[in-house]
Amino acid sequence: MMTSTALSLGKAARAAGVGKTTLARAIRSGRLGATRTATGYLIEPCELERAGYALRAPTEAQDATDGAPGGAGPDATANATSATLAGEVAVLREMLAMMREQATDARQERDQWREVAQRLALAPPKPSPEPEPTPPPMSWWRWLRSTG
């Protein structure tokens, strides 16, 4: 699922400071994730970062050419991006709180098991039961008389 932050191949190449061909090769080899559309590829900025392409800050000239003609200006795009990022931050904070809670639970369980192991290690060993003495083997003569 692509979001409104997805970049075209050309815009992604400009943002990463590499050529379009370089990104296209990375997509074909599987190093870079992208969505194929009828007009080309759409690439998420996080995919560029994951693949190791450092994003450069856009210049004012790029901002002027990247805006949609007759559409929303940079302020509307910035507001939408800001709202999206705020939502993602909230979700990530919830996930962080949940992971911290899980880590606390795991530590408590670890400590409980450590206490059990220490008690078992310090407990005196239980005496092993004496094995029952085995009767002496039956002599050949006795066996012959018992089988008839």
Looking at the predicted structure, is the pLDDT value of residue 62 above 70? no
Options 2.60.40, 1.10.1660, 3.40.50, 3.30.1120; CATH of 1-67: 1.10.1660
Q: What is the pLDDT of residue 61?
A: 43
Q: One-letter amino acid identity for 128?
A: S
Which residue is listed with tokens 């090769």? 25
CA–CA distance from 129 to each of 37, 95, 126 (Å)? 77, 54, 9
Domain ranges of the chain: 1-67, 75-114
Q: Tell me the C-alpha distance between 123 and 50, whole Å.
A: 53
Q: What is the overall mean pLDDT for the chain?
A: 82
pLDDT tens track for 106-124: 999 999 999 999 988 887 8
pTM greater than 0.75 (yes/no): no
